[in-house]
Structure 1
């Protein structure tokens, strides 16, 4: 009645065979069990004085007897003997098991599972051997378990599925070796990537399919399908997209939104999916009455009512409610009120589609933070993670603050995963905060090329480290060369100077230009250092000191008198102190459809330099989305003024309007210029500039997988003002230029490209137009 597995493989020791015969052996032995022997089937009781074990090589006979549980000299029934047999088989140590009573002796014959000599992988290209070895749980020099090998094959298949290769198959096979050893081989058929051919939506009325597709992390297969991996079908990503859709609608007041189901249909060729999100949008709600109240005698609700910034009539957003709660809880701490919690009570008014929000200040549990434990950071110092927490050991415990701290840890970008959890400490009144992080690479060395219509082709070498020496510091070095310029740069930033929310920055760069258009060369070196810190919820202030070196050399014969006079000054050094204030509502994100950015700065020169001056710059940007977020409207105003009280500006100091500031003209294409006899035609720059840009972006009726959208723009601006002039200088006064144009936006694996086609509506005779330019598209 013995059933042995792998006899044919044993005779051909070098031949591969699957692990399934092992499973068959176990199942057959399990099925026949004790009933395989007629005497055992008829007997009611057995009594054995001895247990004889045969076939074991590594496993001790006593260990097998312990699995049986048969006591010598004691009566045992056939059912109990069968249970013992099942225990031996279930140990997972034996390929086959047979028991046979011989009078007063119980004979147990076993064939041990072999040991794993080594584990190899064949057929894998997309996932290397090291990555697969980390997935499997079977180990070398351990007893082989066919069930575990099958489970490992399933894990490898799942790893390929996460890469969108759902057709992948993995088959474990064994190669018999001497001394009851085997080599375990996982044969991998990777298959092709199953892309998402189409993403559709059912039930959406407010937002179009194209707008919702832009929200999702999963994308449709496009023309760069060989390079883009976000178009592969991954179930976990689909689940994440369900949450993203919910957040998108909830932040816009659709509190009843839900995704009822997601249908994923596989094409007949099994190489593409058609995914449909079935949604119910519901109605949009606005904020109704917003109030603050308290059930604590020591709390004055009026103080908190005045601090509320939410206003009735604005679109309801859970993010806005959470931000308001955090603000009120910080106010409670400043008022000396510990263990005060703010609970939002929302009352729904279906008649007018509003939600009344009452912020109730109530007493929370008296729980303190016992300690903060950080694990998994092999490179990053503990203090880098710890300073993301606004609480320390001994402070009152605030669950909302812990959640916000966890988000700040993840936002560092130093970790692939960061989990922050709270558990009970040494007493019920104390908690321990566990921070478990998984580090990822933060440095990069890149070699690349660039192209712009202003500077032509160029090469770039850049080294950057976002977590220098594990201290959270940022370091970057760069060398960029073009047809007519070379730029060398260095920067260093300490984001938490002396452990405070104060960023220290040091930067230096050196720029050499061979400006063929102006027929002279320049050398400009800049150095600056300073501190920046928050001054309000949306405001930040930067204080800095800097020095600047400039020189004009290699003048051609056609250079005019003004630049010749400026070049005759030789090397010029400037030293300055300055500030820059920024106000950015995008930091809070209370309105997902709109945002405002305001920046204003001034530099005051004259601290030991060759000149005394004040340079002021302003930038204001406002953006909103209309027509259910399909069209983006943006308005930008930029201006600058340079005023000298000692000395005078040179062409290297004055402002110049290139395509980045005003489209439709070349760099130095507008503004004051000296035009004289012969070939003299020198752009001089200006001490003042003002530009207003208005643009709209909208989708095109093209397949979305092409990643192409369009826009229109209108720019108006001017550059003017010189200290020294002559009769050959034109456009020294304010003269507005007007430009209109269209833009094409193309999302590629190399980055979002922007093609601008422009036409000047108003220009001057010597202005130099640029009807086309190609740039990297930037987001506001």
Structure 2
């Protein structure tokens, strides 16, 4: 009985298995169609049939299935070549119908007045002769809007339009409505108790929109600038002792008109700290910690200032670098006492070996020869590393004015005690063709044209040819300088010039001067240099008015000056163009009589000292004096000194000094002295405008005339003037207006209230 039951169960199991297999076969037959005998592609114009078939997963000889058909569709769409694809099975033939995406013929921008088409085109994915896809068009549309937002135009809109052409080509046009600049209507601060909103607004770069900011973009919203402002606020508070300060949030809210933002900074000031105990700890053997401690600028009891901490770290790094430790690591270990509000700092100096220069590499120069850069290095391969000399090298390379960027970096060499120096430079154009126009009260309308190459053939040579013309002066100049003559630190060159000047308003004469002067200069020390020159000068005095001073009429004619001279310069300024601190001393001496008709000795000394009183407030004190002594004969008019105009404001050109009172003609003088004080300061406008106010005072005198007479006024009495002015580095050039008031003067002096100088290059 049991065996019968088992036998029946086995028969039922076999029947079930057969049933399952039959159902599976039926399901497989439902998903798999007939075997494909051929694949036909329709609708393609540019794309080859083989290319389309290559992307298919269904091929001749394979069985058709819905799953494989779906994979084939996805593969063809993924190419981006087609806007539509359909697959259908006709008998045993698979028909693939495609609609190709068009090819872009032209990419056009309309309405872009503030952005150049090339600038926009370089930012887009789509290019002419590429396949057009809607996804890429949408992405590029958003990209153009981002570009405009980056420039402060959040109201800009972009609408892409397509013009169908023959052969399945299209012109893609981006219609742009740039909209107005999205300004900043208001800047607010939340959480500030110690400093007012107006004080904090001075510290950030973003400004509120105002009519006078038309030359600046700081009053337009820029997310990157907002991030920069957060950092500026943090640095400001840290410099005032608020070590716990943080910016909780910086939010920009776009107003409904989409033309302005309201910016809100939410800050937490914390409480101020003072400096506590200051220590210097060094792991470098042989380094005097006491000497290093003298470099610490943070003092116990003073208000905490993060800038002073950074300055101390830099001073310690520089001093150790000067001693030859290139990779020294100075870490200020800060310990806060929250109860006493005190910060103790231990400047910890990690162990570092003394290093030597293994190699100097020059990269980035295409035109400038390596040796032109290498000769400016104050360090040579094999020298002990010195950070001060490395800084001097950077300064000298920037001073060449051949490069947009100069970066001198040190990296570890082949051994722990070796360093590799790399000068990475980015060259800029050194050729200049300039045309200038301007106006000055001394020469009225003036103009000049010049051609100059400051890095001739990449050798660092300077060649200049210039012409200038005004209502009172015509001049031509040619000069050349070889900065490393005979491959030595010896600058050699020459100057040629010819100048005709109308001095009839000043001295009732015309003067034509021709000068040829070879020169050579060299450094004596790092800051002291000397120039030696020979000068051949020919002067012609003519067109003397009939009613001129007899002292001038007597000098009508031609004269030749053959002289040798030198100039000593000691320069400790921080910047040669816009110095903020340091000083400059200069002494020049000239001896005439090496041939020619003129014989004299001339001495001129000058000194200038610069002080930065506060941010952008600079005081300049200057003093100079000169003397010229005739050797066996009187000093003639062209070689005398003249004061007034640009070199003594408040008085006309030649307005101070010996004068023939019967004619009013200036006769020049043989001795002078002068002192001056200039204070430049911002006048409340944004710094980017380049407008500064000036207060000045000048005091001095010009006197002593050998060929004098009863009608000649000659007094060494002190003259003093004071005044104010405005200087603007405008897009059209430097404009300066000075209003000077004589305070102490003589009756014979000629005064001048207003002096204007304007010049431009384009």
Cross-structure match for 1:742: 724
Q: 1:756 to 1:190 in 2, by over 3 A?
A: same
In the other structure, the counterpart of 2:466 is 478
1:52 matched to 2:39:
yes
SS in 1 for 2:655: coil
Query: Is the contact between residue 675 and residue 682 of structure 1 (CA under 8 Å) also seen in structure 2?
Result: yes
Provide the rounded CA distance (Å) in 1 between the counterparts of 2:609 and 2:373: 33
> Which is worse superposed, 152-161 or 139-148?
152-161
Q: Partner of 2:653 in structure 1?
A: 667
Checking the alignment, whether the CA contact within 8 Å between 2:188 and 2:197 is kept in structure 1 is no
What CA distance in whole angstroms lies between the structure 2 residues aligned with 1:750 and 1:644?
45
Please state whether the residue corresponding to 1:713 is helix, strand or coil: strand
Q: 1:652 aligns with which of 616, 630, 638?
A: 638
- Greater alpha carbon shift after TM alignment, 739-748 vs 317-326: 317-326
SS in 1 for 2:511: strand
Residue in 2 that maps onto 1:22: none
Map Cα deviations across residues 442-493 of structure 1 (whole Å, 9 max, x no partner). Answer: 4443333212222222223233444444445444433222222223333444
Judging changes above 3 Å, is the alpha-carbon distance between structure 1 residues 397 and 599 closer, same or farther for their aligned structure 2 residues? closer
Q: Aligned partners of 1:253, 1:753: CA distance in 2, in Å?
A: 41
Whether 2:556 is the aligned partner of 1:573: answer no
Change (3 A) 1:340 1:774: closer
Residue matched to 2:549: 560
> What is aligned with 1:523?
512
Alignment of 1:152-191 (within 5 A): 152-191=140-179
The farther-off stretch of 422-431 and 557-566 is 422-431
- What is the distance in 2 between the residues matched to 1:40 and 1:414? 80
Render the CA deviation track for 1:229-267: whole Å, top value 9, x for unaligned. 666555555656666777889899998887766555556
1:462 aligns with 2:450: yes
CA contact (8 A) 2:205 2:225 kept: no
Tell me which of 512, 516, 519 is aligned to 2:500.
512
**1:358-757 matched pairs, under 5 angstroms:** 362-363=352-353, 372-374=362-364, 377=366, 379-380=367-368, 441-494=429-482, 506-517=494-505, 518-530=507-519, 539-549=527-537, 550-567=539-556, 570-587=558-575, 595-606=581-592, 608-609=594-595, 610-626=598-614, 629=615, 631-645=617-631, 647-676=633-662, 680-698=663-681, 710-733=693-716, 735-745=717-727, 748-751=730-733, 753-757=735-739
Bigger Cα displacement from structure 2, 153-162 vs 83-92: 153-162
Give the match for residue 121 of structure 1: 109
Report deviation, 1:90. 1.1
Deviation at 1:79, TM superposition (A): 4.8
2:508 and 2:668 map into 1 onto residues whose CA distance is 15
CA distance in 2 between partners of 1:594 and 1:474 (Å): 28
| Alpha-carbon offset, residue 344 of structure 1 | 2.1
- The equivalences for 1:74-93 within 5 A come to 78-79=66-67, 81-93=69-81
| Cα 1:605/1:319, change in 2 over 3 Å | farther
CA distance in 1 between counterparts of 2:491 and 2:194 reads 46
Q: Which residue of 2 aligns with 1:14?
A: none
Show the counterpart of 1:295.
284
CA distance in 1, matches of 2:37, 2:419: 59
Query: Any conservation in 2 of the 1:593–1:625 contact (CA below 8 Å)?
Result: no
Q: CA deviation at 1:545?
A: 1.2
CA deviations over 1:690-731 (Å, ceiling 9, x no partner): 222234445557899998664443322222233443333323
1: CA distance, partners of 2:235 / 2:540: 55
Which residue in the other structure is 1:20 paired with?
none
- Equivalent-residue separation in structure 2 for 1:454 and 1:557 (angstroms): 24
In structure 1, what is the Cα distance between the partners aligned to 2:99 and 2:446?
70
Cα pair distance change 1:153/1:744, threshold 3 Å: same
Mapped partners of 2:221, 2:604: distance in 1: 52
User: Does structure 2 retain, via aligned residues, the 8 Å contact 1:532–1:541?
Assistant: yes
Name the CA distance, whole Å, in 2 between partners of 1:486 and 1:230.
Answer: 43
SS of the aligned residue for 1:316 comes to: helix
Per the alignment, in what secondary structure is the counterpart of residue 637 of structure 2? coil
Moved more, 174-183 or 505-514: 505-514
Correspondence 1:254-293 to 2 at 5 A:
264=252, 266=254, 269-271=257-259, 293=282
Identify the range of structure 1 (194-203 vs 460-469) with the bigger mean alpha-carbon deviation: 194-203
Deviation digits for residues 302-337 of structure 1 (CA, Å, limit 9, x no counterpart): 5995998776769827467546635643542xxxxx
Gaps spanning 5+ residues in structure 1: where? Answer: 1-38, 333-338
For the residues of structure 1 that align with 2:197 and 2:704, how far apart are their CA atoms?
49
Q: What RMSD over aligned residues (CA atoms) do the two structures have, in Å?
A: 5.1
Query: Aligned partners of 2:492 and 2:104: how far apart in 1?
Result: 57
Distance of 2:454 and 2:115 partners within structure 1:
28
Please tell me whether the aligned partners of residues 388 and 405 of structure 1 are also in contact (alpha carbons under 8 angstroms): yes
Shift of 1:501: 6.3
Larger C-alpha radius of gyration, 1 or 2? Answer: 2
Residues 114-137 of structure 1 deviation map (CA, whole Å, 9 limit, x = unaligned): 222333333334444444444444
Between Structure 1 and Structure 2, how many residues are aligned?
A: 717
Deviates more, 1:177-186 or 1:387-396: 387-396
1:15 corresponds to: none
Whether contact under 8 Å (1:218, 1:231) holds in the other structure is yes
Within 1, Cα distance between the matches of 2:46 and 2:298? 78
Deviations, residues 211-241 of structure 1 (Å, cap 9, x unaligned): 975985989655472x656665555556566
Structure 1 range deviating more: 199-208 or 162-171: 199-208
Partners of 1:236 and 1:656 in 2: how far apart?
54
Q: Do 2:333 and 2:347's aligned partners in 1 also have CA atoms closer than 8 Å?
A: yes
Deviation at 1:374, TM superposition (A): 3.5
Equivalent pair of 1:480/1:486 in contact (CA under 8 Å): yes
Moved more, 214-223 or 114-123: 214-223
Q: 1:446 to 1:345 in 2, by over 3 A?
A: same
Judge conservation of contact 1:255–1:284 (CA < 8 Å) in 2: yes
Distance 1:495 1:204 in 2: 58
Task: State the 1:112 CA deviation.
Answer: 1.5
1:29-44 equivalences in 2 (<5 Å): 44=31
Q: Secondary structure at the match of 1:586?
A: coil
- Aligned-residue offset at 1:767: 0.9
Moved more, 664-673 or 149-158: 149-158
Name the SS for the 1:598 alignment partner: strand
Structure-1 separation of matches of 2:496 and 2:236: 42
For the structure 1 residues 659 and 408, does the alpha-carbon distance in structure 2 shift closer, same or farther, using more than 3 Å as the test? same
Which residue is equivalent to 2:10? Answer: none
1:149 is paired with a residue whose SS is helix
Name whichever of 305-314 and 425-434 sits farther off: 425-434
Q: Which residue of 2 aligns with 1:329?
A: 321
Q: 1:585 to 1:459 in 2, by over 3 A?
A: closer
**Using a 3 Å threshold, how does the CA distance of structure 1 residues 170 and 698 change in structure 2: closer, same or farther?**
same
Taking a change above 3 Å as real, the CA distance of residues 52 and 387 of structure 1, as seen in their structure-2 partners, is farther
Q: Report the CA distance shift for 1:41/1:75 in structure 2 as closer, same or farther (over 3 A).
A: closer
**CA pair 257-82 structure 1, distance change in 2 beyond 3 A:** same
Partner of 1:759: 741
1:774 matches 2:762: no
Deviation at 1:362, TM superposition (A): 0.5
